[in-house]
Structure 1
Amino acid sequence: MSSETIQEDSAKKRKLSEVEAEAAIFDKPRKKPIACGPCHSRKIKCSFGHPCTHCAQTRNPEACIYPTRDSKITVSSNYVERIVAENRRLRERSQANEVQNSSGHVADGASKVPELAIEASEARNPLHDERSWFFPLANSGPIHISEAADAAFATRLRQTLQPNGVAEHIPRMDYVTDAKLITLAETDVPWPSLARAKLLIKTAFDTVGSCYYCVRKTDIYNGLKRHYRNPLAPRTIFTCKLEALFALGEAYSCRTQSTSEDTFPGLAYFARACRTIRGVRERPQMDWIEVLLLLSMYSLLLNRRHSAYYLASAAVRTSIIMGLHQKIPEFQLTDRAAREHRVRVWWTCYTLERLWAGKIGHPVSIQDDEIGADLPSNAGLSEDDLSDFPDEEYANASIRLARLSRNIIHSIYNRRPTQVAFSQRVQAALKELRAWVEGLPKHLQLPASLGLQPLQRPQKWLHLTFNQYVIQTTRPILLHVIRAHRELWLSPGRGTDFKQVIGEPALALSEACIRCARHSHRLLTDTWIDGSFAIFDYTYTQYLFASATILAISSLSIGQNDESDKDGFESACQFIEQLHQNGNYGAKEMVRHLEGIKLSMAAFKGDSSLEALNALSNAATMLQGHGGSIPTPSSTTPGSAFQPTMTAEMALAEPSLQDFLSQAEFDPTFLDAQIQGDQVNGMYYSMLQDESWLAF
């Protein structure tokens, strides 16, 4: 046999084997046919004809019907819910794209490019320079500073007021250091007596526990009794939880000043608790999340804002691992109180992370469309269990308010390019805030007049936080107004009508910012008078500082009743100075900013000519129409019975502002057009050339 014949035979064999292999792959076994109805009911073999042999012999061909194969499969309810949610998201996205395409339709493609370029220019946030803001620190390198932070706004205000626009940022130096916590963690701390322990825990529940749900009271008190029966038992995560509660209880019950870190109330318990939770657990527990939340709240008292934000974010991510952000089936957790506890702990994680992130302008760990957990509800709870859970309407209101915080930071202070004008984003944020305050239950609203009965802490917290979010949304425009007015008066064409150049909406937004600052100052003053202002609390001190910066602007004759606002600014400075003397770490930092603002205000007044100061005084006259009949903080004596009170609704009730919020489509040139020609300096006197400012 020749070599050519051998090669041909081998090639045929290879081709045949390939065909057989391909046939083996695609020749799948066919499904077994189903017998017709009569054969199946009689349990006899069917010939599968039309009709089959049996039906033909019985002369009943019409009954020879073959059923359709319908296999039944079992799927989980979570899978079905995910499919429905995905379908809903795709439908909403499709509708949004249709609306965008219809609104953005132009006659030809050539005219569409310059239109988008103009919109991008108008969408630029006036707070932001071209680059992010980094401040150099000697040990850790440059640190990012968000424009949403109160300290950043205080620096921008000082830059605006300085004649040359130069003002260095004041870094945060007043906080408990890591080295101090490590030293205290190695020190044994004697436990309080059982009576003292109960008092500290009750204080923690009545103060921060009334605003943020973290633990069940019955579990804590029962575990406390067991611990004191066996004090020599090994340390557990529950021991860490008790120490965190002791720390909060000491901080909020102390009425004496703290002269050093060693005497700060609760710090030793906090350091010991932090030592216990070092590291990461592969199988986290609910107790672990509760401890993270408690330590996060105490970290804020030490002015450790980054640690508080980190601990709250860690609680969120740990909750995600445990699935707290999703609804658990009832058959897997039949205890109604235990399910409600999961829900409340999750939403506290959600709320705290968004609150702390809003204070420093940082992002959050989870988006709202990724959450499937139920909202807090007392339905189905027994009378004994109801004592563990606070008011469900308050819990839901605080959740909605925390959601608005993330929306404000994302829309107002986000640096990502957007096609939505800045003024339109401000309008959308204020609409959401107005909808929130209008939807408050009656028992959470502020009364029209305050009697001798002080407000509850949760009620005050809601309205103070609402005012803070309105201030965060509108204070960029307020500072823009004061700068624009000063530049307009000092320009050659100073005879131009200021109200016409700035516009009615900008003045209305500025006045809304001032009103909310007055309202917060009034509420905090009453809190100081009735003794419910804890001297080491950070949140109340921060809100007082934020309102003080706005009142400082208004005291320069930018708003109505500037003399009253000047008194309010001075009283706020005195309150914060007293908190500083008592050892409040947040107040120590804020006092330095307020001193810098005072110096800048003096320089501003000294540099401005008499005519310029008179012009600034005329701004108050221009804003008279926005004042209405809202009472000011000085119109009545604090603490007097049945005095008129400005509520949160009144801050957004000015007619011009209502017109601005009610416009579905409006011309945003009242603010955006003034920004487009100022691409370098933005809204403020930004000193990027100064070596103390580092930007990437």
Structure 2
Amino acid sequence: MEAYQSSASNHTARPSRRRASLACDTCRRQKEKCEGGPPCWRCQRLGRPCTVRGNVLSRRYSARADSQESTSRVEGLERIVRHFLGNVSLDEENVGRIVARLEGRSQGDEPNVDEPFDVQFVSKDIAHYSGEFSHWNFSQKLRRKIGQIERFRVKEYWRPTQLQSSIHLVSQAMNHLPPRPITEFLIGMFFKYAAVNVFYMERSWIQERVERCYAASTEYTLSDIPWVCSLFAVLAVGTQVAHMEEGQEDNEDLNLCSEDSVGLSLYHIACRLVPDVLLVASHESVQAFLLLALYALPLSTGGLSYSYLGIAVKMAIQNGMHRKYVGECDPRIIETRNRVFWTACTLDKRISIFHGRPASIAKSDISTDLPSDALSFSSPNYSNMMAYIKLSSWLGEVSETLTLLRNCPKRFIPEYLDRLIQLRTHIGQWWDSLPLTIECRDTTPDSPLFRQNSHLKMTYLLIYVYMGRPFMFASDWTDSPVENADSDPRTLLVQGCVKSALDILDTLQSLSTNTGLCRASYTEFSSCRAALLVILAERLNSRKLNRFQDELSRGMAMIRRMTGGSSSESEISYLQSLDAAIRQSSLAVNETGSDEHRLQDETSAYAQFKHWTNAMKQDTYPGGITDLELSSFSPLSFLNSEPRLGEGNEVQDLLNTWPSEGFVMDPNVFSPLQTG
């Protein structure tokens, strides 16, 4: 008896479970354990009537029970809890213990979730990013736990300096800078025509570096290599757009120009510094790779330029530029880092989407601040820059929705189509909210930002083209005719796509008339090509030869001027072949069936085929069209197998004006490249 009392006293702290002397009818029907009452607790908790021997007992929580969703909601929550926690008891006592445990955990001494990583500045331009759950992050956490380690000297290893090249490489490169007036001119061309709506660097920043380059007693260190590479890349890009200073295009020959050869030489000098730019890995290194990507953008968009952008993003991650910085670093340096990162991220996203490549960084991994409207930064225009970043974000959302639509079960297709329509509406409303004077939407020729705003408008219109293009061919997305085609989301998207394509051509025509088209502008060329492809697809769908004929002719004329030179026919032959095939397809559909008309159609098709083969034979590329990357547009249209009269003398005279000590310049670099 004493043992029993002792055992009972040891369990007095644990309340005994209440047992019902008589189970209610409701619990008995549900085959559940009644927990007593009246009414019983289980019936109260589930909000159901509690009956004993046919009599409904009053409930203390009748207001809760009256809600239509209480029963199903509580039962659903119980299923969720048991799914994640197992078959646990959900009585009031156990639920109270679980809640108390969770509250105690949230109020404990756990590390702050906002500090899982560290961005530590090694120098003014170089930072070290620890990374979440990394070896480095754990070692630093261990170091902080053992405070006495501060008494010992720890060797810090930030960059593999033992791999660096001789610093004389920089001096040798500097020996081949153009004369000072030429350098100033090319830098001016870069900021006037190439740095449109995106930030690469401040003009004052590069001007300070130019002053150092032409100073007599300048000494260089390893940390100078990234900005030296950037300088040569800026000059190379400047040669690509220098032709814009000649005014509007005329019918002059745009074949080999001396600036193309010089630009290629400057690019090669910058490339020789790339290994050490990678080694330094500063935010100036990110700038250097952005500029190399900009130079390669018109030459190999989805290849070399995409690779450069990927390196730029990865190097930005190495410096922790994708994370929000909380510290006491110079605000101007932090703003520069933010702007450079968003340029790299935005360009990488656009090229990845338009060329079917994976992006280099996920949106969820980015926490850094957007660029701020700092008065100390003069270029580019802040509103335009932020609009460009936002448009790229909208493009990413459209791309994600199209990917989900492509992979979803058929029953979810209407839901994702509605989401595209909602995105289309939101993008249009956002665009309409932008400034209409001077900035963003002001595309009047007299506007000081006419060119920048025109590029921004084409960037906006390309989203609608990209959104509606997958639905242009009905056989790709429906197995049966649509009952109400006018209100079908796919029809609305296609109509918006075609309208945007026509608006793009109008915008390009305005640029061509007022400032001229740039041979090295990816925005202008890619917009024109995308618009032409949509128009060709619409002509194919309509089977009408005269549909959009004027717009097609204008677009083909403009894209010829942007490719320029002897490679024009090769660059646009793909579009021409599509147009010819569509014409033949339309003729075949509209033929009357008579033998005479059929013979004329066959003769016409053969004549066009012969014309096309003759054009291929006359192509300056030895390998023909198959040797070309159809997705590229090359301002280096001089790369052919036949030298031109007077070309060598002009380039040799230019070389003679440059010093050539130490860093030997091969004159053959300016010669047309031989294939085979």
TM-score normalised by the shorter chain: which range applies?
Answer: 0.5 to 0.7
Question: Counterpart in 1 of 2:608?
Answer: none
Looking at structure 1, the residues matched to 353 and 276 of structure 2 have their Cα atoms a distance apart, in angstroms, of 27
The alpha-carbon deviation at position 433 of structure 1 amounts to: 4.2
Alignment of 1:300-339 (within 5 A): 300-331=297-328, 333=329, 335-339=330-334
Question: Counterpart in 1 of 2:469?
Answer: 475
Question: Counterpart in 2 of 1:572?
Answer: 555
Q: 1:611 to 1:537 in 2, by over 3 A?
A: same
How many corresponding residue pairs?
Answer: 418
Match among 513, 517, 527 for residue 511 of structure 2: 527
Q: 1:392 to 1:565 in 2, by over 3 A?
A: same
The alpha-carbon deviation at position 214 of structure 1 amounts to: 1.3
The alpha-carbon deviation at position 282 of structure 1 amounts to: 5.3
Looking at structure 1, the residues matched to 509 and 266 of structure 2 have their Cα atoms a distance apart, in angstroms, of 31
Contact in 2 for aligned 1:580/1:588 (Cα 8 Å): no
Q: 1:303 to 1:194 in 2, by over 3 A?
A: same
Contact in 2 for aligned 1:412/1:422 (Cα 8 Å): no
The alpha-carbon deviation at position 281 of structure 1 amounts to: 3.7
Higher relative contact order (CA 8 A, sep 6+): 1
**Deviation per CA, 1:649-668, whole angstroms, max 9, x where unpaired?**
xxxxxxxxxxxxxxxxxxxx
Alignment of 1:53-202 (within 5 A): 78-79=114-115, 190-202=176-188
**Deviation per CA, 1:16-48, whole angstroms, max 9, x where unpaired?**
xxxxxxxxxxxxxxxxxxxxxxxxxxxxxxxxx
Q: 1:611 to 1:404 in 2, by over 3 A?
A: farther
Looking at structure 2, the residues matched to 81 and 315 of structure 1 have their Cα atoms a distance apart, in angstroms, of 21
Alignment of 1:444-593 (within 5 A): 444-446=439-441, 450=444, 452-453=446-447, 456-480=450-474, 500=484, 504-555=488-539, 558=542, 563=546, 565-582=548-565, 590-593=571-574
Determine helix, strand or coil for the equivalent of 2:361.
coil
The code of the aligned residue for 2:336 comes to: H
Q: Say whether residues 1:250 and 2:239 are aligned partners.
A: yes
Q: Say whether residues 1:368 and 2:363 are aligned partners.
A: yes
Q: 1:435 to 1:313 in 2, by over 3 A?
A: same
The alpha-carbon deviation at position 78 of structure 1 amounts to: 3.3
The alpha-carbon deviation at position 462 of structure 1 amounts to: 2.0
Looking at structure 1, the residues matched to 194 and 414 of structure 2 have their Cα atoms a distance apart, in angstroms, of 36
Q: Say whether residues 1:276 and 2:266 are aligned partners.
A: no
Determine helix, strand or coil for the equivalent of 1:553.
helix
Looking at structure 2, the residues matched to 604 and 365 of structure 1 have their Cα atoms a distance apart, in angstroms, of 41
Match among 422, 426, 442 for residue 435 of structure 2: 442
Looking at structure 2, the residues matched to 73 and 290 of structure 1 have their Cα atoms a distance apart, in angstroms, of 41
Contact in 2 for aligned 1:200/1:249 (Cα 8 Å): yes
**Deviation per CA, 1:77-100, whole angstroms, max 9, x where unpaired?**
832899xxxxxxxxxxxxxxxxxx
Q: 1:592 to 1:454 in 2, by over 3 A?
A: farther
Contact in 1 for aligned 2:233/2:266 (Cα 8 Å): yes
Contact in 1 for aligned 2:197/2:381 (Cα 8 Å): no
Q: 1:208 to 1:280 in 2, by over 3 A?
A: closer
Question: Counterpart in 2 of 1:595?
Answer: 576
Determine helix, strand or coil for the equivalent of 1:78.
coil
Looking at structure 1, the residues matched to 538 and 403 of structure 2 have their Cα atoms a distance apart, in angstroms, of 23
Match among 229, 232, 248 for residue 215 of structure 2: 229
Contact in 1 for aligned 2:545/2:583 (Cα 8 Å): no
Match among 279, 283, 293 for residue 296 of structure 1: 293
Looking at structure 1, the residues matched to 509 and 308 of structure 2 have their Cα atoms a distance apart, in angstroms, of 31
The alpha-carbon deviation at position 247 of structure 1 amounts to: 0.8
Q: 1:258 to 1:476 in 2, by over 3 A?
A: same
Looking at structure 1, the residues matched to 513 and 405 of structure 2 have their Cα atoms a distance apart, in angstroms, of 41
Q: 1:205 to 1:423 in 2, by over 3 A?
A: farther
The code of the aligned residue for 1:398 comes to: Y
Contact in 2 for aligned 1:481/1:502 (Cα 8 Å): no
Looking at structure 1, the residues matched to 462 and 262 of structure 2 have their Cα atoms a distance apart, in angstroms, of 28
Question: Counterpart in 1 of 2:389?
Answer: 399
Contact in 1 for aligned 2:473/2:541 (Cα 8 Å): no
Contact in 2 for aligned 1:343/1:376 (Cα 8 Å): yes
**Deviation per CA, 1:538-558, whole angstroms, max 9, x where unpaired?**
321111011011122334573
Q: 1:189 to 1:427 in 2, by over 3 A?
A: farther
Q: 1:403 to 1:577 in 2, by over 3 A?
A: same
Contact in 2 for aligned 1:426/1:473 (Cα 8 Å): no
Looking at structure 1, the residues matched to 587 and 391 of structure 2 have their Cα atoms a distance apart, in angstroms, of 42
TM-score normalised per structure 1: 0.54
Question: Counterpart in 1 of 2:57?
Answer: none
The alpha-carbon deviation at position 455 of structure 1 amounts to: 5.3
**Deviation per CA, 1:213-233, whole angstroms, max 9, x where unpaired?**
011222110110111113885
Q: 1:571 to 1:292 in 2, by over 3 A?
A: same
Q: 1:308 to 1:460 in 2, by over 3 A?
A: same
Contact in 1 for aligned 2:532/2:555 (Cα 8 Å): yes
The code of the aligned residue for 1:246 comes to: L
> Unaligned 5+ residue runs, structure 2?
1-106, 119-171, 245-252, 594-676
The code of the aligned residue for 1:299 comes to: A
Looking at structure 1, the residues matched to 569 and 403 of structure 2 have their Cα atoms a distance apart, in angstroms, of 27
The code of the aligned residue for 1:592 comes to: S
Contact in 2 for aligned 1:326/1:372 (Cα 8 Å): yes
Contact in 1 for aligned 2:398/2:467 (Cα 8 Å): yes
Contact in 2 for aligned 1:247/1:269 (Cα 8 Å): yes
The code of the aligned residue for 2:492 comes to: A
Looking at structure 2, the residues matched to 231 and 358 of structure 1 have their Cα atoms a distance apart, in angstroms, of 47
Looking at structure 1, the residues matched to 482 and 406 of structure 2 have their Cα atoms a distance apart, in angstroms, of 32
Match among 396, 410, 417 for residue 400 of structure 2: 410
The code of the aligned residue for 1:608 comes to: V
Contact in 1 for aligned 2:421/2:489 (Cα 8 Å): no
Contact in 1 for aligned 2:239/2:260 (Cα 8 Å): no
Q: 1:552 to 1:356 in 2, by over 3 A?
A: same
The code of the aligned residue for 1:514 comes to: V
Match among 348, 351, 354 for residue 359 of structure 1: 354
Contact in 1 for aligned 2:298/2:520 (Cα 8 Å): yes
Looking at structure 1, the residues matched to 517 and 395 of structure 2 have their Cα atoms a distance apart, in angstroms, of 24
Match among 210, 213, 217 for residue 196 of structure 2: 210
Q: 1:452 to 1:222 in 2, by over 3 A?
A: closer
The code of the aligned residue for 1:535 comes to: R
Contact in 2 for aligned 1:545/1:590 (Cα 8 Å): no
The alpha-carbon deviation at position 423 of structure 1 amounts to: 5.0
Computed over aligned residues only, the root mean square deviation of the Cα atoms, in angstroms, reads 3.7
The alpha-carbon deviation at position 429 of structure 1 amounts to: 3.5
Looking at structure 2, the residues matched to 324 and 188 of structure 1 have their Cα atoms a distance apart, in angstroms, of 30
The code of the aligned residue for 2:302 comes to: R
Contact in 2 for aligned 1:481/1:506 (Cα 8 Å): no
Question: Counterpart in 1 of 2:33?
Answer: none
